[in-house]
């Protein structure tokens, strides 16, 4: 998967967390080293901007199902859900 393929999937991705629907928006990707990428996204309607760091290899080999689970877990934790 590429960043260009991921951005439209994350922007507008809705998930159930803490008993409510949350929508992810404004994905930003930043290279933090030659081997890692940082992903930051806004949880719409909040001031929460969770960040996630993945190795380039892990990102390149992941499919949407893998990444959606990771984004769901990071967003849930940022919102205070377990």
> Is residue 72 within 8 Å of 14, Cβ to Cβ?
no
Q: What local confidence, expressed as pLDDT, does residue 7 receive?
A: 93
Q: Phi and psi for 6 in degrees, rounded to 5?
A: -75, -40
Q: What is the pTM of this model?
A: 0.89
Q: Where are the domains of the chain?
A: 3-78
User: 81 pLDDT band (50/70/90 cuts)?
Assistant: confident
**Residues 43-67 pLDDT 10s:** 999 999 999 999 999 999 999 999 9
Helices (H) and strands (E) in the chain, counts: 3, 4
**Residues 16-53 pLDDT 10s:** 988 889 999 999 999 999 999 999 999 999 999 999 99
pLDDT at 82 over 80: no
């Amino acid at each position: 998967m590429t960043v260009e393929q991921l951005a439209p999937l994350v922007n507008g991705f809705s998930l159930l967390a803490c008993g409510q629907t949350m929508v992810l928006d404004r994905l930003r990707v930043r290279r933090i080293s030659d081997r890692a990428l940082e992903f930051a996204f806004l949880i719409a309607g909040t001031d929460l901007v969770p960040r996630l760091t993945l190795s380039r290899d892990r990102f390149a080999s992941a499919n949407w199902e893998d990444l959606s689970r990771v984004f769901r877990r990071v967003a849930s934790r940022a919102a205070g859900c377990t």
